[in-house]
Amino acid sequence: MIAASGSSIVLIELGALLLILAALGRLAARLGLPSIPLYLAAGLLLGEGSAFPLDASAEFIRVGADIGVVLLLLLLGLEYTPTELRTGLTTGWPAGLVDLVANSLPGFLAGILLGWGVVAAVVLGGVTYISSSGIIAKQIFDLDRTANRETPTVLTILVFEDLVMAVYLPVIGVLLVGGTISEAAASIAVAIFVVCAALIIAFRQSHHVNRVLDTKSPELLLLGILGLTLLIGGLAERVQVSAAVAAFLVGVTLSDRVAERGRELLLPIRDVFGGLFFVFFGLQVDPSTLPPVLVPALLLAVTGVVTKTATGWWAAKRAGIGPRGRIRAGFSLIPRGEFSIVIAGLAVVAGVDRDLGPLATAYVLIVAVVGSLAMRFADRLPVRNRQQSPPAQ
């Protein structure tokens, strides 16, 4: 009998995984539920300690997950123009500040109350602050809300969060390794420079980028968009700037025929790699570590649901959006995901506190599932529309 090669095992595992995702997607559609919780559950069942761990293909799935997040944000960026992004950031920064304070403070205070120390508390504050761009972007697409009035408000807050991460990640990285203030300042300066350069290109040089990429060949257009997005995303991560926000800005930069044809070509690829992202998220979790931290994770999750919903409601109201849109905006911000796990992972590697990783994981799983379900059923909640003068524009 011929022994199975490493490549054949990878192909078998990936083939089985994709078939499982297809079946779960059909089940979710039949039940009228979002597919994300089922994909997360599949990752949990196929991760550490399971009967069928995906050991051979784990690295491929990790890379696929990174690509999935990048594609989700790229396609979301294709829906908006540089003018819309500029207007959103100019008018929406107060909502971003409210989001920062309201959602990082509960995590910081929880870390202090648990006796973890200031550094671990700052880490937990980052975990509870940052929403999941990947989960939110997929839900916005799945629920056909890209054209909704509240969606630009949600996107503005997500972009603001990622810009905050450009400063937060260098700072927390230096704190975890015991670095100096000058090292932190240098990392922050580089990150801010990269973000500002990307924004200037998106706002002022988009026509040059579109002219270079534009072609009648679908193959060449797809290769050009994917190559540019992955290159910019990788370079951004090298200086600790989110690849997701870099991909979003690339999408914003593209316009007209390039953006329209790019959406058509990228949609199937996005869905495949997006599914791998949510499975990989679940694969990183060891279920046996969750029960001891479930109570504090639940308390933090309840607080996080309330603070994010209130933030989205207030931001949408400030933008002149009606009650139904305010609910959708608030619920859209609830899910946490990839960034929260990355932040907690940095602290775990640094040996800050052994309970930080499991607590962050349990917290993220709870709010990811609750948030995706809340987004799905937001329109079914009763809303009282008071008779009044026409809403603010």
The model's pTM is 0.74
The yes-or-no verdict on residue 376 having pLDDT over 60 is yes
Q: Which of 9-23, 49-63, 83-97, 320-334 has the highest mean pLDDT?
A: 320-334
Split at pLDDT 50, 70, 90, the class of 180 is: low
Q: What is the pLDDT of residue 391?
A: 46
Task: Say what the alpha-carbon torsion angle 37, 277, 141, 79 is, to the nearest 10 degrees.
Answer: 160
What token pair was written down for 356? 């930080």
Distance CA 388, CA 375 (A): 27
Close Cβ partners of 295 (under 8 Å, ≥ 6 residues apart):
none
Q: What is the mean pLDDT of residues 326-336?
A: 94
Distance CA 14, CA 190 (A): 38
What token pair was written down for 196? 């500002």
What is the pLDDT of the chain when averaged over all its residues?
Answer: 82
Q: What is the pLDDT of residue 220?
A: 93
- Going by C-alpha positions, the residue among 388, 297, 310 that lies closest to residue 95 is 310
The yes-or-no verdict on residue 21 having pLDDT over 60 is yes
pLDDT digits (tens, 9 = 90+) for 164-178: 877 787 777 777 766
Higher pLDDT, 341 or 210: 210
CA 357 to chain centre: 18
The yes-or-no verdict on residue 372 having pLDDT over 70 is yes
Q: What is the mean pLDDT of residues 21-33?
A: 83
By the 10 Å C-beta count (0-12 exposed, 13-18 middle, 19+ buried), 349 is classed as: exposed
CATH of 8-379, one of 3.40.50.720, 1.10.10.10, 1.20.1530.20, 3.40.50.11540: 1.20.1530.20
CB 384 within 8 A of CB 393: no
The yes-or-no verdict on residue 1 having pLDDT over 50 is no
What are the Cα distances from residue 20, in Å, to 52, 124, 288? Answer: 13, 34, 23
The yes-or-no verdict on residue 6 having pLDDT over 70 is no
Q: What is the mean pLDDT of residues 301-306?
A: 96
CB 12 within 8 A of CB 60: no
pLDDT digits (tens, 9 = 90+) for 239-248: 767 677 788 8
Split at pLDDT 50, 70, 90, the class of 157 is: very high
Close Cβ partners of 204 (under 8 Å, ≥ 6 residues apart):
none
Split at pLDDT 50, 70, 90, the class of 5 is: low
Percent of the chain scoring above 70 in pLDDT: 90
The yes-or-no verdict on residue 203 having pLDDT over 50 is yes
Q: What is the pLDDT of residue 51?
A: 61
Distance CA 49, CA 35 (A): 24
Q: What is the pLDDT of residue 118?
A: 87
Q: What is the pLDDT of residue 129?
A: 95
Q: What is the pLDDT of residue 317?
A: 94
The yes-or-no verdict on residue 237 having pLDDT over 70 is yes
The yes-or-no verdict on residue 315 having pLDDT over 90 is yes
CB 128 within 8 A of CB 106: yes
Q: What is the pLDDT of residue 3?
A: 47
DSSP 3-state assignment of 215?
Answer: coil
Q: What is the pLDDT of residue 74?
A: 86
The yes-or-no verdict on residue 392 having pLDDT over 80 is no
The yes-or-no verdict on residue 387 having pLDDT over 50 is no
Distance CA 83, CA 87 (A): 6
What token pair was written down for 360? 């962050």
Q: What is the pLDDT of residue 393?
A: 42
Domain segments of the chain: what residues?
8-379
